Amino acid sequence: MHGRVKVKTTAEKQAERRAELAKRAQQFLQETAAIFDKRKKNELNEEMLRNSQNLLMQNPDFYTLWNIRRECFLNLVKEKEDDEMEKLYNNELALLLACLKVNPKSYSVWRHRRWIMTHMNHPNWQHELSLCTNYLEFDSRNFHCWDHRRFVAAYTEGVTDLTELEYTMKKIKQTFSNFSAWHYRSKLLLKINSNSEIAKKDSVWVQEELDSIMNAIYTDPNDQSAWLYHKWLLGREEIPPTICTLYVAKCADDKNSQMNIVATWSRPVTTHDANQAIVILDGRQVDCIWKNNCNHSYASHIWITQVQDVSENCVIQAGLKEIGSLQITLENGRNEAWALARNESMIKEKMAVNLETLIVQKQLLDELYEIEPENKWLTLSQIYLGHALDGVKTDYRFLEEELENLINKLVDIDSKRKGYYCDLRSKIIIERFALNLFQGSSFQECKKVDLSKRRLSCLHLMHLFSHVTELDLSQNELVNLGDCTPFYCLRVLTADNNFIESLRNIQYLPNLQELFLRNNNIGNIRDLLPLQDSSSIKSLHLGDNPIACSKTYRQDVKQLLPRLQMLDGELI
């Protein structure tokens, strides 16, 4: 079904061909019917094997026929001698080889080879490995063959992860652009090197691999495979999720001194993981159940629990036993308090190599970039390495101006992926903003955040602002509010002058009272549906949206949102 070129011929030739093929098809159907007949009679014998052979050579993906052949083998093995069976198995391997010539990417054929090999008495695994090697000479990207090779390698004497690693290097030296080989290396290297090695950032294997990949990059800076692999080598770190913000608020009008405790996690976590967090009130562990703020079953950043009988000057701790917790003292007379844990690894992607290695990588790529400044991969690496080293390498700053120039160049040379580059830029800008904010001394008290006028095309790290009460996102290029569910404390959201057309998830902001959406793309009353589920929203601004042009605009909004008090600054 793939890669069959349509060739133009005369009507006469077409008719001839059709008739010939129709004849062959009839023959095929007849023989198939005969086989199904024989199967119904349970005649699972050598004749069946003979009869189905040609059919499979014409049509190797006819999976039921392979099933029937397997049934024959299982039947014949009961009566036949070992050497007779071995003959049959070897014939089968020859048949399969012939079928591979017809379709080297047939799932059924490779699968049946594995079945035969594991049922033979004397499988020749070395020979099977050679078969794989030969096939990969012919097509080094045939993933069926690579999977088969991995299967065979496990059985073949003398083959280890190390010898396989050597084999992949052989393939790479033949042609650097061999994603399949690099992929296999990524698995083998992690297997070969124990867990403790992975943790060490100056591991020998990482250095050697970086050398190999840099070789590949220098040989052909346009080869995608090398770049994807290089990026992985630099950034393999997985940081376990932690609670990054703890917020407590006394429930209003409650005589039982009930309190909400809200934990914001650095990554979305499941109910199970969220409930590993323990709560300690005044030194005493309290039983509690954490629920997410959206009342659904997906992983979430925000988890909430309630505690009763809260004393004055209560000290609240919440966190994970092994990783640590956040602590708040709710002073006498106060109704709410918060504590923030902020560190660089919560904001920037952590590098999996040490600083010296990173600096060397940048130097090597800088040199190549000077020779090939129009190469998109090199330009991209300038961005992520520059950002990684910003403020980390002594006396090195990745200036905003440089970021803008590089992004503009990427949008120019690789316009198809403009969406990706704009989002990449937005993420870096937000990361820089967050680092700047959280390195200051007064960030704990800061409840208003201004991210306006930055041409942001997407939001990022919003879970770091779950304690914030006022957020300004105006004059950007947002199409939606992204995952805004972490805005637990937000009271005023200003998002004028964007391209917002969807308010999905806005109903999960329990404290949102005023929403500015002037000059956006809200076109339809249905776009406001998520606000229907918001119990807190009091004031809405929708001027200069297509929806505001409708004659029944104010009535429609009032009907949809009966609890709304103000629309566009006027009572509704």
Partner 1 sequence: MGTPQSDIDIPANSPTQLWRIKHRDYIVNYGKSKDDYEYCMSEYLRINGVYWGITTLCLLDQLDQLNKTDVISFVKSCQHSSSGFGASPNHDPHILSTLSAIQILTIYDAVNEIDVESAIEFVRSQQQSDGSFSGDKWGEIDNRFSFCALACLSLLGRLDAINVDNAVDFILKCMNFDGAFGCKPGSESHSAQVYCCVGSLAITGRLHFLNVDALGWWLSERQLPSGGLNGRPEKLPDVCYSWWVLSSLAIIGKLHWIKREKLITFILACQDNETGGIADKPGDLVDPFHTLFGIAGLSLLGDTTLKQVNPVYCMPEDVIHRLGLKVQMLN
Of 163-171, 205-213, 264-272, 533-541: span binding partner 1 (CB under 8 A): 264-272
Of 54, 174, 222, 285, the one binding partner 1 (CB under 8 A) is: 222
Among positions 327-366, residues that touch partner 1 (CB under 8 A) are: none
Contacting partner 1 within 60-99 (CB under 8 A)? 61-64, 67, 70
Q: Which of residues 496-535 bind partner 1 (CB under 8 A)?
A: 502, 504-505
Choice from 38, 80, 105, 187 touching partner 1 (CB under 8 A): 187
Q: Please state, in angstroms and rounded to a whole number, the distance separating the CA atoms of residues 3 and 83.
A: 42
Taking CB under 8 A as the criterion, the residue among 51, 225, 475, 545 binding partner 1 is 225
Q: 464 to 493, contacts with partner 1 by CB under 8 A?
A: 479-480, 482-483
Sheet hosting strand 324-330, strand order edge to edge: 284-286, 278-281, 314-320, 324-330
Burial of 300 (0-12, 13-18, 19+ CB in 10 A): buried
Whose Cβ is closer to partner 1: residue 150's or residue 201's? 150
Residue 115 within binding range of partner 1, rule CB under 8 A: yes
Taking CB under 8 A as the criterion, the residue among 50, 87, 141, 563 binding partner 1 is 141
Report the DSSP beta bridge partners of residue 330: 314
Q: Which is nearer to partner 1, 29 or 323 (CB)?
A: 29
Binding-site member from 177, 207, 469, 536 for partner 1 (CB under 8 A) = 177
Among 59-67, 195-203, 446-454, 549-557, the segment contacting partner 1 (CB under 8 A): 59-67
466 touches 484 (CB < 8 A): no
In degrees and rounded to multiples of 5, residue 51 shows phi and psi of -65, -30
Length of the chain as a residue count: 572
Contact range with partner 1 by CB under 8 A, out of 141-149, 247-255, 311-319, 328-336: 141-149
Of 42 and 256, nearer to partner 1 (C-beta) is 42
Shortest distance (Å) from residue 175 CB to partner 1: 7
Task: List all residues 6 or more positions away from 531 whose beta carbon is below 8 Å from its beta carbon.
Answer: 503, 506, 507, 515, 537, 540, 560, 561, 564
Residues 189-218 within binding reach of partner 1 (CB under 8 A):
none
Using CB under 8 A, which of 31, 34, 38, 59 touches partner 1?
A: 59
CB 397, min distance to partner 1, A: 24
Whole-angstrom distance, CA of residue 83 vs CA of residue 69? 18
**Three-state secondary structure call for residue 170:** helix
When binding is defined by CB under 8 A, the residue of 73, 89, 135, 229 that contacts partner 1 is 229
Cβ 394 to partner 1 shortest distance, Å: 28
CB of 492 to partner 1, least distance (A): 22
Give residue 424's identity as a one-letter amino acid code. Answer: L
Q: Which of residues 292-331 bind partner 1 (CB under 8 A)?
A: 296-299
| Residue 146 binds partner 1, judged by CB under 8 A | yes
**H helix or E strand, kind and range, residue 116:** helix 107-119
Q: Which is nearer to partner 1, 238 or 370 (CB)?
A: 238
- Range in contact with partner 1 (rule: CB under 8 A) among 130-138, 163-171, 414-422, 544-552: 414-422
Rounded distance, CA 278 to CA 265, Å? 14
User: Is 6 an interacting residue with respect to partner 1 (CB under 8 A)?
Assistant: yes
Q: Provide the 3-class DSSP secondary structure of residue 320.
A: strand
Residues 419-438 touching partner 1, rule: CB under 8 A, are: 419-420, 423, 427
Residue 288 C-beta: closest distance to partner 1, Å:
23
Smallest gap, in angstroms, from Cβ of residue 503 to partner 1? 11
Kindly state the smallest distance separating residue 53's Cβ from partner 1, in Å: 16
Crossing angle of helices 63-76 and 82-102, rounded to 10° = 170
186 binds partner 1 (CB under 8 A): yes
Exactly one of 9, 14, 54, 58 binds partner 1 (CB under 8 A); that residue is 58
Beta strands in 74-117 (DSSP E): none
Q: Please give the size of the binding site for partner 1, defined by CB under 8 A.
A: 75
Which residues ranging from 12 to 41 are in contact with partner 1 (CB under 8 A)?
A: 18, 21-22, 24-26, 28-29, 32, 36
Calculate the CA dihedral of residues 325, 331, 336, 340 and round it to 10 degrees: -30
Least distance (Å) between residue 18 CB and partner 1: 8
Q: Which of residues 147, 211, 282, 367 is near partner 1 by CB under 8 A?
A: 147
- Contact indicator for 181, 137 with CB cutoff of 8 Å: no
**Which of 220, 282, 331, 533 is the binder for partner 1 (CB under 8 A)?**
220
Using rule CB under 8 A, residue 228 touches partner 1: yes
Q: Cβ 262 to partner 1, closest distance in Å?
A: 19
Kindly tell me which residue out of 250, 342, 417, 538 binds partner 1, with binding defined by CB under 8 A: 417
Instruction: Indicate the SS3 state at residue 246.
Output: strand
Which residue in 9, 94, 107, 412 binds partner 1 (CB under 8 A)? 107
Smallest distance from the beta carbon of 253 to partner 1, in angstroms? 35
Least CB distance to partner 1 at residue 327 (A): 27
The bridge status of strand 492-494 relative to strand 470-472 is parallel
**Phi then psi for 136, rounded to 5 degrees?**
-75, -20
In the sheet that 300-307 helps form, which strands lie side by side, from edge to edge? 291-292, 300-307, 259-269, 243-250, 336-340
- The conformation of residue 239, written as its DSSP 8-state character, comes to P
- Long-range CB contacts (within 8 A, 24+) of 69-77: 69/112, 70/112, 70/115, 71/39, 71/44, 72/44, 72/45, 72/46, 72/48, 73/116, 73/119, 74/44, 75/44, 75/45, 76/44, 76/45, 76/46, 77/119
Q: Which long-range contacts (CB under 8 A, 24 or more apart) does 494-500 make?
A: 494/452, 494/470, 495/520, 496/520, 496/541, 498/473, 498/474
Name the minimum Å distance from CB 290 to partner 1. 16
In the complex with partner 1, the residue whose CB is nearer, 207 or 257, is 207
